[in-house]
Structure 1
Amino acid sequence: MSRIATPAIETATGASAEVFTQIKKSIGKVPNLYATMGMLQPAALKAMLQADATLAAGSLSKQDVEVIKLTVSSIGGCTYCVAAHSLIAKLTGLSPESLKHIRHGEPTGDARHDALIAFVKQIAQTHGELSDEAFAAIKAAGYTDAQLVEISLAIAVITFTNTFNRINDTTVDFPAVD
């Protein structure tokens, strides 16, 4: 059970109700994370959703974004985000086997994704310290300087949601993963 009660979204008014309507139109439901965050601080939820929209309009593939989010969430131990991004990543076409490998920090067999995972892991595990070798490897994998900005934004967005979910111990409303 979440530490902060997940509110009934039907009771939302004002900015909270507006953002919940947008989310329901987009994905069909308001997940527990969004319900809690949006009721307490709708501007924070809107900022997070805007950052995600910026990523969606960027040059990273949807799979790349989900690889980043799942990698960071797995390292951080956020069961809510691991479950959510496992489902979303599956919808982008990543195989269940690849998802399992990402969650367990193992190579997936996709050289480009494996380079991205190694890069993100180093950043997440060292709080941003990056070796020259890691920088050279991500560039050799074909990621552009502009995509490095997008990778940084994806890490920031998922770190934000991981942190809130860990504080709240948000009740997972996505399919469980191993």
Structure 2
Amino acid sequence: MLDDYVAAYNSFRANSGFTPQEQEVVFLSIAYVNNCTYCMAAHSFVGDNMTHVPVEVTDAIRSNSDIPDVKLKALSLFAKSVTMNRGLPTETDIENFLSAGYTQNHILAVISGVGVKTMSNYFNHIFNTPIDDAFKGRVWEKN
């Protein structure tokens, strides 16, 4: 099972067409919807410190508030919609995502991201993965 996860994760990272910052927005947005405390801490840390997502963006996703960057906001909202609606975003969701500058290939990439991140979120839920020391500064609890 780990092989499946690693292959999907690596493929998303290599083939999604998203920048590293956008990838973290996708993963953080999905983790928010799935209420994964481990992934919220981990992707907040990675976003803030490794891929340089602006802290105001990661904080907005963490608090479910308005993201100041228009394109990243559209990406986050679409990833959340796909996750919440179990692959059934509305036509308006799709139109808003595409009008922000994303493509149909990016839609496929978000779906892939939902798959791989949901696997990770569920692993962490079931096995109560403890937060790594490196991520403890970004511990999160859903509002």
Q: TM-score range by the shorter chain?
A: 0.7 to 0.9
Distance in 2 (CA, whole Å) between partners of 1:127 and 1:150 is 15
Q: CA deviation at 1:156?
A: 0.6
Q: CA deviation at 1:109?
A: 0.9
Where do residues 141-160 of structure 1 align in structure 2 (5 Å cutoff)? 141-160=100-119
Q: CA deviation at 1:154?
A: 0.8
Where do residues 1-178 of structure 1 align in structure 2 (5 Å cutoff)? 44-58=1-15, 59-90=17-48, 91-173=50-132, 174-176=134-136, 177=138, 178=140
Q: CA deviation at 1:77?
A: 1.3
Q: CA deviation at 1:97?
A: 2.0
Alignment length (residue pairs): 135
Give the gaps of 5 or more residues in structure 2.
none
Higher relative contact order (Cα pairs below 8 Å, separated by 6+ residues) = 2
Q: What secondary structure is seen at the aligned counterpart in 2 of 1:175?
A: helix
Q: CA deviation at 1:139?
A: 0.6
Find the structure with the greater CA-based Rg.
1
Percent of counterpart pairs with the same letter?
27
The RMSD of aligned alpha carbons is: 1.3
Q: Normalised by the size of structure 2, how large is the TM-score?
A: 0.88
Following TM superposition, the consecutive aligned residue runs of length 4 or more in structure 1 with deviations greater than 3 angstroms are none
Give the gaps of 5 or more residues in structure 1.
1-43
Q: Normalised by the size of structure 1, how large is the TM-score?
A: 0.71
